[in-house]
A = this chain, B = another copy of it.
C-alpha cells in the first residue's frame, strides 16, 4: 500500500528542493535542462500525480468549468455537454455537470455550491421558469465568469449564446405555407421562457406576413414529451376547423403528433405537415422522418467556450451576445 507521492518525495530522492521539482514539472521559472529531465523521469518513476486539490487550493481557483443544464437526458443537452467536455478537455479544463431539474430553487443551490468549488467559469442553460438572473449575480461578486447558452434569463448582463428562435419558427411556418398549408397550429411547452415566446412570435409573424389569420385555439401549450404531443394533436384534430400544419416546440412533441396522426389514418405531410425543433436523432426513427429546425450545437459549444475563455483569461467579466442562426433540416414531414 504505497502512500501518495508528493513533490517532496521526488525532491528527497533527488536530493534537491521540492520547489525546484514544482518548477520543473510545470516548466515554470528556470531549471537547468539536465535537472529538469532528471526530475520528470523520477516523478514518472515514482508515479507522482500532482495533487489538484492542493494546486487549485493554492491557486485560489480550480481548472474546473461547470455546466448547468435543466436535464441531461434530452439529446440537445446531452450532445451539448458531450461536445463541451471535449472542447474543455482539449484546453486543459475538467468539467463538472449539474442538473437543475427545471427547478429554479435547485439552480440557486447549484450556483452557491459552484462558488465553493471556485470553478474557473460557468456555462448555463437556465430552467424554463428562471426569469430573473439574480441568483447568478453572486458569481459576479466572486468574479467567476459565466455564459448562458440556449436559454438565458430575461435581463442579464452576462454573455450569452442564443439561437434566433424567432427566425427558426418563422422559417418553419413559412415552409409549411409554401407547401400549401393554410391553417397552422403551434404546440409549445410553457410560455414563460423567452425562447418559447420567441418561437411563438416567429410563428405569428409568418402567418401575418402571409395574410393568414392567427387563431388562438391553434396555439396550445404544456408538456415536453411524445405523449404530450400525442394529446395535443388529439385536441387539435378534434377542433371544428382542423389544422393542416403543426409546429412543435420540440422534436419529441412533434413525433408524438405524427404518431397520433398516423394512428387516425391522417396522412403526413399530405393532410397535415409537422415540424419540430432540435434535430433530435429520434426524428429519423419516426415515419415519415421529422422535418426539424436545427440549432448548430458545435457552433453553440464553440461560441460558449470562447466567450467564457476570453473572460477567464482577461480576469474580467464582460457582456457579449452571440446569435446562432437556425437551419431547417428538410425530411419527410412537410
Residues of A within 8 A of B (CB): 1-2, 4, 47, 49-54, 56-57, 60, 62, 64, 71-73, 75, 78-79, 81-82, 85-86, 94-99, 101, 112-113, 115-118, 138, 141-143, 226, 252, 255, 259, 262, 281-287
CB nearest to A287 among chain B residues: B287
Known contacts A54-B57, A226-B284, A85 near B97 by CB under 8 Å: yes
**6 contacts across the A-B interface (CB closer than 8 A):** A50-B116, A53-B57, A85-B98, A282-B285, A285-B286, A286-B286
Residues of B within 8 A of A60 (CB): 53
Asked if B287 and A53 sit within 8 Å, CB to CB, the answer is no
Residues of B within 8 A of A118 (CB): 51-53
CB nearest to A262 among chain B residues: B287
Asked if A96 and B99 sit within 8 Å, CB to CB, the answer is no
Considering the complex of A and B, which 10 residue pairs feature the smallest CB-CB distances, nearest first?
A285-B285, A52-B116, A53-B57, A72-B82, A78-B78, A285-B286, A57-B57, A49-B115, A282-B282, A287-B287
Find A285's partner among B53, B78, B116, B255 (CB 8 Å cutoff): B255
Asked if B142 and A4 sit within 8 Å, CB to CB, the answer is yes
CB nearest to A141 among chain B residues: B2
Least distance between A98 CB and chain B CB atoms (Å): 8
Within the assembled complex, what's the spacing in Å between the Cα atoms of A113 and B53? 11
Copies of this chain, tallied across the complex: 2
CB nearest to A81 among chain B residues: B72
Asked if B86 and A78 sit within 8 Å, CB to CB, the answer is no
Residues of B within 8 A of A286 (CB): 285-287
Least distance between A107 CB and chain B CB atoms (Å): 13
Asked if A49 and B116 sit within 8 Å, CB to CB, the answer is yes
Residues of B within 8 A of A2 (CB): 141
Known contacts A54-B57, A226-B285, A255-B285, A82 near B99 by CB under 8 Å: yes
Known contacts A52-B117, A282-B281, A285-B255, A95 near B96 by CB under 8 Å: yes
Residues of B within 8 A of A142 (CB): 4
Least distance between A229 CB and chain B CB atoms (Å): 11
Least distance between A225 CB and chain B CB atoms (Å): 8
Find A82's partner among B50, B53, B71, B94 (CB 8 Å cutoff): B71
Within the assembled complex, what's the spacing in Å between the Cα atoms of A194 and B226? 34
Residues of B within 8 A of A51 (CB): 57, 116, 118
Within the assembled complex, what's the spacing in Å between the Cα atoms of A143 and B2? 10
Asked if A78 and B72 sit within 8 Å, CB to CB, the answer is yes
Residues of B within 8 A of A283 (CB): 285
Interface core residue of A85, A143, A285 (most chain B CB under 10 Å): A285
Within the assembled complex, what's the spacing in Å between the Cα atoms of A81 and B67? 14
Residues of B within 8 A of A259 (CB): 285, 287
Residues of B within 8 A of A73 (CB): 75, 78-79, 82
Asked if B117 and A94 sit within 8 Å, CB to CB, the answer is yes
Known contacts A142-B4, A143-B1, A97 near B99 by CB under 8 Å: no
Find A96's partner among B81, B96, B113, B226 (CB 8 Å cutoff): B96
Residues of B within 8 A of A112 (CB): 49
Least distance between A5 CB and chain B CB atoms (Å): 10
